[in-house]
Amino acid sequence: MPFISNTLEQQDQMLAEIGLTKQDLFADIPAGLLCKDFKLPPGLSEQRVRDSLAELAEKNSTHLTCFLGGGFYDHFTPAAVNSIVSRSEFYTAYTPYQPELSQGTLQAIYEYQSAVCRLTEMEVANASLYDGGTALYEAMMMAHRITGRNKIIIDDSVNPIYRMMIHSHTRNLRLEFEESQCKDGLADRGQILERIDDKTSAVILQNPNFFGCIDDFSDIATAAHDKGALLIVSCYPISLGILKTPGAMGADIATGEGQSLGLPLSFGGPYLGLMAARKQYVRKMPGRIVGETTDASGQRAYVLTLQAREQHIRRDKATSNICSNEALCALTALVYLSLLGKEGLKETSQLCADKASYAYRRLTAIPGVQPHFRGRWFFNEFVLDLPCEAVDVIAKLIERGFAAGVPLSRYYSRMENSILISVTEKRTKHEIEMLAEALESVL
Amino acid sequence: MRLIFEKSMPGRRAVQTGPGDVPTMNIRSSLLREQAAELPELSELDVVRHFTELSRRNFGVDSNFYPLGSCTMKYNPKVAEHIASYPGFTQLHPLLPQLRMGEMLTQGVLRILYEIDLLLREITGMAGFTMQPLAGAHGELAGMMIMAAYHKDKGNKKTTVLIPDSAHGTNPASAAVAGYDVASIPSNEDGVMDIEAVRQHLNDEVAGLMLTCPNTLGLFNPHVKEICDLIHSVDGLAYYDGANLNAIVGKARPGDFGFDIVHLNLHKTFATPHGGGGPGAGPVGVREELVSYLPVSIVAKRSDGTYTLEYDHPKSIGYIAPFYGNFSVVLKAYVYILMLGKEGLRRVAENAVLNANYIRVKLQKYYDLPYSGLCKHECVFSASRQTEKGVHAIDIAKGLIDAGFHPPTVYFPTVVHEAMMIEPTETESKETLDAFIDAMIEIAKQAESEPQKLKSAPTTAPVCRPNETAAARNLNIAYLQRSRGENINT
C-alpha cells in the first residue's frame, strides 16, 4: 500500500502527455547501478500491520510502577495536550519558511520561547534542540565560541549520559575537559573554584544534580564571571515550578530535557532540548529562533529571525549544524505549561518534592537501607544504599511489579549498592507503601 | 492574534493537580525561586480554543499540496500515528532494558529496532545501521564522526571534506562541527559535481566526500561511482546524504554506487510527519569495515531469538543520543516500510520521478529551466524571466499562497539564480498537479500583465508579508511583560 493517488491509467496518461516512457524515467542512472532485486518482504494491509504491531506492543511491559528517573520521568499529562498536538495542521507542516502560512507554528514557538524564559528566568531562548544532552553539548560549544577558550569544567554530578554524549560529540575537537568530583552530593566549591582560570570557557553543572540533590550555584557563577568564564546549568523544568532558577543564580546558558513537560517516555524519544541564555549571547545561540514583527498592514506577525547564524546561510561558518529542531515537542511543552498554568506547575513541582520526601522517609525506615548523602535537600530523586548489590534488588523488584530505580554502579565506581529512586506527582502514597513492602520483602 | 499570556486571567485553572496524599515538604527557602513562573492562567477551554485558532493559521500536507523542494512533503499515513500511540510504546522508560530482568520486558521495541535495521540495510546496501541520530543533520554529524574515527584508527592525517557547491548547508556545517575543513567543489555545466574538479582537489589530506545523489537540482550524477572510486583511491570515505533518497528508493542503492556511510531522513523518504520542523530521525548506515564504529548501544539478536543491547564495542564513537534515537519516529517509519513492501517502495520512486517530470515539462514553456534534461524527484526552475518584469521568486511563492498552495523552496540551491525548487512527491494526484500547474501558468501571465498584484501577495493568508528586517533589527523573541506592563525577568 504505497499511498499513491494516481491510477495506472493516469500514470500512463501523464507519461504520454510529457512524451516519456516508464523506462525513460530512470534512464539517467547507469544500468549497472540499478538494483535488480531487493530482498524485501511484500507490502501488508493496514489490518495486518496493526495486528502485528499490537502484538509487539504487548511484548513490552507497561504494568510496572515507575520509580525510574535519571533525567527521564513518568509525569502525568492532561488529555488535552495530546488532543491539541494531534491537529494535523501542526504535525504535517514543516519548518516555517513561509511565514504567511505558518503563523500557527511561529506564534507557538514564540510563546514557547517566552515560556522557557519565564520558567528559567533567562532573557532569551531558542526554538528547541533535539534533547537535553545535545542541548548541553550545544551550550558547551556556544560558550567555546563566546569566550574563544578551550577548557571546560564539568562536574561528575551532571547526568553521566550527557557527559558521555558531550565526550563523543567533541572527540575530534581541541577541547580540554576537566571533571570535578562532587562532595557529599554537592558541587565541591574548593575543587571547582581552584580549577577556574583564564583558559576556562565554561563550568557545567546540573540542578537538581543527577543524584537529585539541590544546590544554589550563585557563588560559582560569580567566580566563573570573575575569570571571564561562563556558567552553564542543566535543569529539570518541572523542578523550576519551585526551585531557584538558573537565571536567578546568574547562569549564562541554561539547558534542560523537556520530556517532563507533557511528552511521553516513548522508549527514549522524541524528546526536547531546552536552551535559554543571557541576551548578549543571542547571536551565538544555535538553532531556530522566532521573532515578533509586523506585516505590511501593521498587524503582529512572527518570523524565523537571526538566520544569518544558521547553516543554510553560513554553511561551514554556522553556529551549529542543526537544521530542524523538535517543533512539535516544543508545542507539546507549551500546551502542557499553558494547561498547568502558574499555580498548576508550582503545585506539581511541590507534589514531586512531597512524595519523594515521603518515599525517602518510608524507605530509609527499612532496616539496612541508608541514605547515601545525609542531610541534603533533594527534589524528587534520592540515592539509597542497600545492604546488597542494587542490580540484584532491582531485578527482584521488577518481578514484583516495580521499576524501582537506577543502579548507580552503571555510572559510578564504589556505588554497587546504591540505587537512584525517583518519585513524581503521579505516584500515590499507596504505591510508595507497596514499593516499601516489596523492598522489605526482597532484602 | 493575542498571545496566550495576554489571555491570562488571575485565578483561572485548567488542571486540578493531585492527589496530595502525603505531608508537604518545606525545602529551605534559599533554594527556592522567589516568585512563581509567570505562566498563563486559563481554563482548558481557553487553551483548546487558543491552539485551535493557531492551527487554523497553519498549513500542512493535510491542508493542500506542499511541494517544498528537498523536504519530501509526502502524505503521512494515519495508521502510523495510530500505532505509535499504543501504550506499549509510549509508556516505556528507556532505561528499562538496561536493568536486569528489564530486557525481557522490552522485547517488542528491541525487535522493532533490530528489524528496521535489517530493512534499511537492504534498502541502502549497507551492512549495519544506528537509529540514534535525532535528525538528518545529526546523522551527518554522526557520519563525520565515524569518518574521523576510521582515519584516526588507521593513523591517517586527514583534514578536508569535499562537498559540492549545490549541497544543503547542513553538509559543510556538519563537517566543520566534526572538526574538518571544507572544500567546495563546483558543479559542471550539466549541474552535477564536476569529476575533473574532484580530481584537482584530490590529495592525501582528503578525509572524504559528502554527496547528495540525486542532488538538490534533482539530477543524478552519472559519474557517481567513479567519484566514489576516486575518493577511495586516497583512502577517503564517501558519505551519502540521503535527503533525496525518495528519488531512487526501491530502484537503486547508495551502497552499490560505492558509498561507505549513508544517512536517511525518515521524515522524508519514510513518511513520518515533519512536525512543523521536527522531530525527525536520521539513522546512519555503514559498510562492513565501519560497523565497529557505530554508536552504542547496538541491538543484537541472541541465538535463542531474544534481543539484547550491546555496549562493549571498543571502537564505537560513543553516545550520539541518550538512548535509541527518536524511537516513536523510527516506529512510524517501520510501519510505513512494512505496509509498502518491496513493490510499494519501487512505486514510490517511480511516481515521485514521474510527478516531478510532469511538472518540469508542463511548466518549462513558462519558466526558465537552467538544467533542462530529465530530473529525478524534484525540478528547479529559475524566475529570471519574470525578474525582468520585476517579479522575483519570492513574489511567485507568495502568489501561490493566494492560489491555495504551499510555495516551493525558493532561492535554493544557490547555483540557480532566483531558484524555485519543486518536489511534488509520489502521493499527489494528477488533478492536484494540474491545478498547481494552472496556478503557476496563471502567475507567469500575471507577471507579464499585472506584476504589481504579485508584489502585494499574499492577500488571503492570516498575515501579509512580515517585515523580516525589522524582526532582526528590533529583536523581540520572548514576551516578558506582565499584564501590568512591567518586565518579568529584570
Length of chain A: 443
Helices (H), A27-159: 46-58, 79-85, 88-91, 103-120, 132-147
Q: How far apart are CA A130 and CA B139, in angstroms?
A: 12
Please determine, for residue A61, whether its predicted confidence score (pLDDT) is greater than 90: no
- Residue B290 makes CB contacts below 8 A (sequence gap 6+) with B127, B146, B150, B237, B260, B261
- Cβ neighbours of B79 in A, within 8 Å: 46, 49-50
Can you read off the three cell numbers belonging to residue A22?
A: 516508464
- Cβ neighbours of B474 in A, within 8 Å: 293
Burial B55-85 (b: 16+ CB within 10 A, else e): bebbbbbbbebbbbbbbbbbbbbebbbebbe
Q: Is residue B231 part of a domain?
A: yes
The last residue of one of the domains, among B319, B339, B359, is: B339
Tens digits of per-residue pLDDT, B438-487? 999 999 999 999 999 999 999 999 999 999 999 999 999 999 987 555 66
Residues B295 and B380 in one domain: no
Among partner residues B17, B134, B173, which is closest to A269 by beta-carbon distance? B134
Sign of CA dihedral B396, B398, B403, B406: positive
pLDDT score, position A322: 86
Q: Residue A188 in 3-state DSSP?
A: coil
3-state secondary structure B47-100: HHHHHHHHHHCECCCCCCCCCECCCCCCCCCHHHHHHHCCHHHHCCCCCHHHCC
Residues B161 and B230 in one domain: yes
Give me the CATH number covering residue B99.
3.40.640.10
Q: Residue B280 in 3-state DSSP?
A: coil
Q: A84, A130, A82, A73: which is closest to A108 by C-alpha?
A: A84
- Cα dihedral value A51, A55, A56, A62, nearest 10: 130
Residues B192 and B130 in one domain: yes
Query: CA triplet B138, B144, B148: central angle to 5 degrees?
Result: 145
pLDDT score, position B490: 46
Q: Residue B479 in 3-state DSSP?
A: coil
Which of left, alpha, beta for A83 (phi over 0: left; psi -120 to 50: alpha)? alpha
Q: Which of residues 93-152 of B touch A (CB under 8 A)?
A: 93-96, 98-102, 105-109, 111-112, 119, 122-123, 125, 134-138, 140-141, 145, 148-149, 152
Peptide bond into A208 cis (omega under 30): yes
- Cβ neighbours of A87 in B, within 8 Å: 51-52, 55
Domain enclosing residue B417, as ranges? 346-461
Q: How far apart are CA A152 and CA A201, in angstroms?
A: 6
Tell me whether strands A176-180 and A151-155 are parallel, antiparallel or unpaired: parallel
Residue with cell 526551585: A243
Question: Closest approach of chain A CAs to the CA of B186, in angstroms?
Answer: 15
Residue A337 DSSP label = H
Residues B202 and B247 in one domain: yes
Please determine, for residue A251, whether its predicted confidence score (pLDDT) is greater than 60: yes
Q: How far apart are CA A25 and CA B354, in angstroms?
A: 7
pTM over 0.95: yes
Using an 8 Å Cβ cutoff, are B258 and B229 in contact? yes
Q: Which domains does chain A have, with CATH numbers?
A: 65-75+342-442 (3.90.1150.10), 79-335 (3.40.640.10)
Among partner residues A87, A269, A347, which is closest to B323 by beta-carbon distance? A269
CB pair distance less than 8 Å for B60 and A18: no
Alpha carbon separation from A282 to A174, A246, A312, B95, B276 (Å, rounded): 24, 17, 18, 35, 23
Length of chain B: 490
Number of domains in chain B: 2
Tens digits of per-residue pLDDT, A159-207? 999 999 999 999 989 999 999 999 999 999 999 999 999 999 999 999 9
Question: Closest approach of chain B CAs to the CA of A198, in angstroms?
Answer: 24
Can you read off the three cell numbers belonging to residue B349?
A: 520512486
Give the mean pLDDT of A430-434. 98
Residues B373 and B328 in one domain: no
pLDDT score, position A126: 97
Interface test with B, best of A28, A167, A215, A267 (most B CBs within 10 A): A267
Q: Is residue B143 part of a domain?
A: yes
Using an 8 Å Cβ cutoff, are B89 and A396 in contact? no
Among chain B residues, the shortest Cα distance to A12 is held by B354
Q: Is residue B61 part of a domain?
A: no
Peptide bond into A264 cis (omega under 30): no
Among partner residues B39, B337, B458, which is closest to A118 by beta-carbon distance? B39
Q: Chain centroid to CA A195: how far? A: 28
Q: How far apart are CA A31 and CA A303, in angstroms?
A: 46
Q: Residue A133 in 3-state DSSP?
A: helix
CB pair distance less than 8 Å for A4 and B427: yes
Residues B141 and B264 in one domain: yes
Alpha carbon separation from A1 to A48, B342, B352 (Å, rounded): 12, 10, 15
Q: Is residue B205 part of a domain?
A: yes
Among partner residues A169, A299, A339, which is closest to B463 by beta-carbon distance? A299
Give me the CATH number covering residue B415.
3.90.1150.10
Q: How far apart are CA B266 and CA A66, in angstroms?
A: 31
pLDDT score, position B174: 95
Alpha carbon separation from B406 to A101, B294, B362, B413 (Å, rounded): 8, 38, 19, 18
Q: Count the Cβ atoms, other than its own, within 10 Å of residue A395.
A: 17
The last residue of one of the domains, among B316, B339, B362, is: B339
Q: Is residue B115 classed exposed, middle or buried when 0-12, 13-18 and 19+ CB atoms within 10 A define those classes?
A: middle
Any chain B CB within 8 A of the CB of A155?
no
Question: Closest approach of chain B CAs to the CA of A187, in angstroms?
Answer: 14
* Widest pairwise Cα distance in chain B: 76
Q: Count the Cβ atoms, other than its own, within 10 Å of residue B111.
A: 18
Residues B127 and B152 in one domain: yes
pLDDT score, position B90: 97
Q: Which of residues 256-285 of B touch A (CB under 8 A)?
A: 256-257, 271, 273-280
Q: A199, A157, A197, A194: which is closest to A174 by C-alpha?
A: A199
The last residue of one of the domains, among B339, B360, B388, is: B339
Residue A181 DSSP label = P
Which of left, alpha, beta for A418 (phi over 0: left; psi -120 to 50: alpha)? beta
Q: How far apart are CA A110 and CA A290, in angstroms?
A: 6
- Residue A100 makes CB contacts below 8 A (sequence gap 6+) with B398, B401, B458, B461, B462, B463, B464, B465, B466
Q: Which of residues 171-200 of B touch A (CB under 8 A)?
A: 172-179, 181-182
CB pair distance less than 8 Å for A243 and B20: no
CB pair distance less than 8 Å for A321 and B137: yes
Q: How far apart are CA A203 and CA A224, in angstroms?
A: 7
Residues B239 and B134 in one domain: yes
Q: How far apart are CA B328 and CA B324, in angstroms?
A: 10
Count of helices and strands (H, E) across chain A: 14, 15
Q: What is the pLDDT along chain B (490 residues), one digit of tens a residue?
A: 999 999 999 999 999 998 899 999 999 999 999 999 999 999 999 999 999 999 999 999 999 999 999 999 999 999 999 999 999 999 999 999 999 999 999 999 999 999 999 999 999 999 999 999 999 999 999 999 999 999 999 999 999 999 999 999 999 999 999 999 999 999 999 999 999 999 999 999 999 999 999 999 999 999 999 999 999 999 999 999 999 999 999 999 999 999 999 999 999 999 999 999 999 999 999 999 999 999 999 999 999 999 999 999 999 999 999 999 999 999 999 999 999 999 999 999 999 999 999 999 999 999 999 999 999 999 999 999 999 999 999 999 999 999 999 999 999 999 999 999 999 999 999 999 999 999 999 999 999 999 999 999 999 999 999 999 999 999 999 999 875 556 665 4
Average pLDDT, chain A: 97
Position B457, amino acid: A
CB pair distance less than 8 Å for A353 and B25: yes
Q: A73, A63, A61: which is closest to A405 by C-alpha?
A: A73
Residues B88 and B122 in one domain: yes
CB pair distance less than 8 Å for B47 and A338: yes
Among chain A residues, the shortest Cα distance to B223 is held by A30
Residues B185 and B320 in one domain: yes
Q: Is residue B21 part of a domain?
A: no
Among partner residues B39, B125, B172, which is closest to A337 by beta-carbon distance? B39
Can you read off the three cell numbers belonging to residue B459?
A: 492577500
Q: Is residue B164 part of a domain?
A: yes
Residues B134 and B107 in one domain: yes
A101 — phi, psi (to 5°)?
-100, 5
pLDDT score, position B486: 64
Residues B271 and B180 in one domain: yes
Any chain B CB within 8 A of the CB of A139?
no
Residues forming a β-bridge with A370: A385
Count contacts between A and B (CB, < 8 Å). 701
CB pair distance less than 8 Å for B351 and A294: no
Q: How far apart are CA A352 and CA A242, in angstroms?
A: 10
Among partner residues B48, B55, B125, which is closest to A104 by beta-carbon distance? B55
Q: Is residue B296 part of a domain?
A: yes
Q: B377, B357, B379: which is closest to B369 by C-alpha?
A: B379
Using an 8 Å Cβ cutoff, are A122 and B11 in contact? no
Q: Residue B455 in 3-state DSSP?
A: helix
Position A341, amino acid: G
- Cβ neighbours of A35 in B, within 8 Å: 125, 251-253, 256
Any chain A CB within 8 A of the CB of B61?
yes
Query: CA triplet B292, B296, B302: central angle to 5 degrees?
Result: 80
Provide the CB-side half-sphere exposure for B162 (13 A, CA): 30
Q: Is residue B369 part of a domain?
A: yes
- The rounded radius of gyration (Å) of the Cα atoms in chain B is 25
- Cβ neighbours of B279 in A, within 8 Å: 130, 269-270, 326, 328-329
Any chain B CB within 8 A of the CB of A443?
no
Tell me whether strands A273-277 and A290-294 are parallel, antiparallel or unpaired: unpaired
Q: How far apart are CA A216 and CA A376, in angstroms?
A: 13
Among partner residues A294, A403, A430, which is closest to B470 by beta-carbon distance? A294
Q: How far apart are CA B168 and CA B166, in angstroms?
A: 7
